Amino acid sequence: MIYELQVEFHKDFVEINENKIIIGIKSKPIKGEANKEIIKKLAKHFGVSTSLVRIRTGQKSREKIVEIQD
């Protein structure tokens, strides 16, 4: 499944509306730490391995496209 993802910093939540996810993270966007936290949170939320969650576009942006495989 492919989702649009919007990141909010200094928060801790996951909100899903149809194909859009809004996620709050605590990590700073330095050396990919924020992206790692996003992948871990989404994997936990969907109950899948982190290897099945991939950021397709927006590696350095607050707006991303993510793919979660079943």
The DSSP-derived string for 31-65 is: TTHHHHHHHHHHHHHHT--GGGEEEEE-TTSSEEE
Q: What percent of the chain has pLDDT over 90?
A: 99
Total structural domains within the chain: 1
Helix (H) or strand (E) holding 3: strand 2-9
pLDDT at 64: 98
Unique residue bearing structure tokens 């919007």: 6
CB-CB neighbours of 32 under 10 Å:
13
CA atoms of 41 and 57, how far apart (whole Å): 18
Query: Tens of pLDDT along 2-13?
Result: 999 999 999 999
Q: What is the CATH number of the domain that holds 10?
A: 3.30.1200.10
Q: Which domain holds residue 47?
A: 2-68
Query: Tens of pLDDT along 18-36?
Result: 999 999 999 999 999 999 9
Q: What is the mean pLDDT of the chain?
A: 96
